[in-house]
Structure 1
């Protein structure tokens, strides 16, 4: 079974330790661990003991969590706005006159960065996910919304990527040590959601004021609420680890089938976590298209179900607890053209025991995000292929030269109002990175048992 599903998270003592960076677990950290003695310790560049078969099988469920929330955040706001517009005119009460003006919620001022974490925690998720074996952020995604709301980027950070981890505050007091090199998926178990945010901030240079952790049951709830998500399969998918067996063609997935599709790693691409990210992007781009379709946005029942499914399966930072904030972020997202929503794999190369950032392309990606530049990807999708049955894109009609007309009379008092801002992105920054846009129709590249 793949090493990528192994559990290796450890929390240190709450007392402040020396901040010397180390590449091995000290006896002191083991001694003061909050985890039980049966839980394997944090490893630096090392192969760890495999978790139990039951826990390992469900570990990959976390692959689905952040995928749901990327769309789910906008759904919460869009649902509230659309449901409000669907309500019939009410009855005017005499005492309403005493109320002050109700503030109108608009799109968030400027851009926003939201970190989206998919946890493998079983807390509050029922008995169907195996025994507790840690708390890893098996999926970590950064949603970056441009200042002018003309584009958005979703950056996926591979779970096995080695990165420096900064000092992290312990909610119970004290500070967790910095570490020079550790897999990014250990940060949630090491210092909580705040530690994952600090790690990504250090890696990218961005300030991230919003964050959310998404729970297991969100995948089933949201895929059911939207009525299923259509996905395309190019070659047959076979995966005994997730009981996923899909023939070539289109499949509308909901409930457990959606979970299995997002969990599969052995059944797609080369069996790595990187091609699993590509498989998730096939699902996510289709989910975004489904949510933004007229069939969803004009259906109050679906909208309410989506909003409830999203909120019921999230742990939010304090900054996202206010519904007005969620709605304002959603309003910034809801009008962005699908072709300007880009899903990107953070550029990495192989190293012993995992992957590590590729210096130049990673720096270029960070610079584009810091400069608020929209992204155009020059790399491939990372594992998926183009959907041969994708809807044809209509070419814009040719414009004819207008007939000569009399010049209009000059306006004696030209308007001094500033022109309305446009939603067209500025020139895009080309990046050598893998991924796709939400407007691209892609198919998962399957992998049969014979190739595993």
Structure 2
């Protein structure tokens, strides 16, 4: 049993028991870790001289992406236009391997470290949206076999706590998260406690908001109601706060962590950090010193490339979620993936947008007419069939295609059974035409199917496409199902973090709410004090 498994757990003193099953315990440090990720990504925009380049390059530590002896990191799959999504596993380590980290972490018995945070960041293939999913550190799951390339330590495949995978290197965490979610992992980024202090100082601080006065006597976060700019240890206290937010469990902690990351992203843009070489160098230097990355990100040019892809997505298209959990029937201090988590996993793996307003949900006929305007041949027959039950759908899509240059598009009015999913059917030798049609109508390549029942490329419209001129990337129903109980928010509108109204803390041995503790602790300095 690792050190993190031996730590005592505490339930909020008067938090309601019905929420216990959904807690995500001790996912400490999401905000600090992702801040590091964001900083290192934007640092790629730095345009310095040879010394700066060599200095930053020399800061970067790296190791193998995958170190499993069983399983894999997954296989990359392109969308219908040949574009690839990007999936990055962000890892926060609770290692106490240095004196500085030991002081900040408070416990000095764990030189190897467990994954204090595991955040799976998915960038869509079309770069229209990002989903960032937190995986609770106390999740129990089937673990892969691993071998740490640095230490030679090995583990057999077993059932265990997912954060312990880091004991065998970040490549083992990659193997574990892929095995759990089915999502292909392209890269990892890892940071420790000391890293967030250096990076938050370099950015000049991050503005956060709390809904009421708060003093968490465990993390030592102390703030009055409203907005505050945090850096250094104050920033670390905020992202480590568990007892002060929500119901006092790690579900509450994720509220603060997601809000902190949202604010960090906005801060980098609002403060002009990206346009100020001096500020940007400080951020880049702190970030590259604090991070360990996989070998695919082990140089400034590689980070530049990744930064470019991340920066294509607007903040209101970044969705934060937490993997849905249920209580472990064998241990009340652990959780297991809830049934709803499988829908979230499959939606991310299928590269379906979880943003509320998918950029490609609808399009005008002129926007769909990209093939004709590009001069690509559309001189093949397309039959459009209605299997969705909405009157007139086949005719309206035929009209869209005609206006897009498909002069041989026709409506097939023959009767057919209702179908749940849309499909593009094609005969042997017609795959290129089918792909072209799918690309113009934003239909995923997974819906293309060769068939001996058709002579021409045939678009069979199902119940999943009841409106709009292009195929909806994600239906509202799919989005709702995937995000159920995942505490979703966006990077642009995270709002004030809700302070717990339960007696989740103790001051001088007396149980009280965080607001009561704030009022009592008159001699304690606030976390935003100089």
Task: State TM-score, norm by structure 1.
Answer: 0.69
Superposed, which structure 2 residues align to 1:50-449 within 5 Å? 50=8, 62-78=29-45, 80=46, 110-124=84-98, 126=100, 128-129=103-104, 130-134=106-110, 135-171=113-149, 172-173=151-152, 175-180=154-159, 182-189=160-167, 191-293=168-270, 295-351=272-328, 352-359=332-339, 361-376=340-355, 416=375, 426-427=473-474, 429-430=478-479, 431=482, 432=484, 433-447=486-500, 449=505
Seen in structure 2, the aligned counterparts of structure 1 residues 169 and 436 have a Cα distance that, compared at 3 Å, is: same
- 1:92-135, Cα deviation, whole Å (9 max, x unpaired): xxxxxxxxxxxxxxxx9632111111001122452633453221
User: What is the Cα deviation at residue 64 of structure 1?
Assistant: 4.6
Q: How far apart are the structure 1 equivalents of 2:115 and 2:356?
A: 26
Q: How far apart are the structure 1 equivalents of 2:84 and 2:204?
A: 33
- 1:329-350, Cα deviation, whole Å (9 max, x unpaired): 1101112111111111011122
Gaps of 5+ in 1: 1-7, 10-39, 52-58, 88-107, 379-412
User: What is the Cα deviation at residue 69 of structure 1?
Assistant: 2.7
Is the CA contact (8 Å cut-off) linking 1:167 and 1:177 kept in structure 2?
Answer: yes
Seen in structure 2, the aligned counterparts of structure 1 residues 436 and 414 have a Cα distance that, compared at 3 Å, is: closer
Q: How far apart are the structure 2 equivalents of 1:217 and 1:377?
A: 35
Q: How far apart are the structure 1 equivalents of 2:342 and 2:107?
A: 39
- 1:150-183, Cα deviation, whole Å (9 max, x unpaired): 1111110011111111111232447411112x22
Give the number of equivalent residue pairs: 342
Q: How far apart are the structure 2 equivalents of 1:166 and 1:281?
A: 29
Q: How far apart are the structure 1 equivalents of 2:350 and 2:373?
A: 35
User: What is the Cα deviation at residue 202 of structure 1?
Assistant: 0.4
Alignment partner of 2:132: what SS?
A: strand
Alignment partner of 2:174: what SS?
A: helix
Q: How far apart are the structure 1 equivalents of 2:376 and 2:231?
A: 49
Task: State TM-score, norm by structure 2.
Answer: 0.59
Is the CA contact (8 Å cut-off) linking 2:27 and 2:136 kept in structure 1?
Answer: no
- 1:271-320, Cα deviation, whole Å (9 max, x unpaired): 11121011101111111111133622222222111111111101112221
Gaps of 5+ in 2: 10-25, 53-81, 358-371, 378-403, 405-438, 443-469, 506-511, 515-530
Matched, 1:451 2:513: yes
Q: How far apart are the structure 2 equivalents of 1:199 and 1:220?
A: 28
Alignment partner of 2:92: what SS?
A: strand
RMSD: 3.3
User: What is the Cα deviation at residue 415 of structure 1?
Assistant: 5.0
- 1:330-388, Cα deviation, whole Å (9 max, x unpaired): 101112111111111011122322211111x211111111111111479xxxxxxxxxx
Seen in structure 2, the aligned counterparts of structure 1 residues 273 and 304 have a Cα distance that, compared at 3 Å, is: same
User: What is the Cα deviation at residue 326 of structure 1?
Assistant: 1.3
Seen in structure 2, the aligned counterparts of structure 1 residues 298 and 173 have a Cα distance that, compared at 3 Å, is: closer
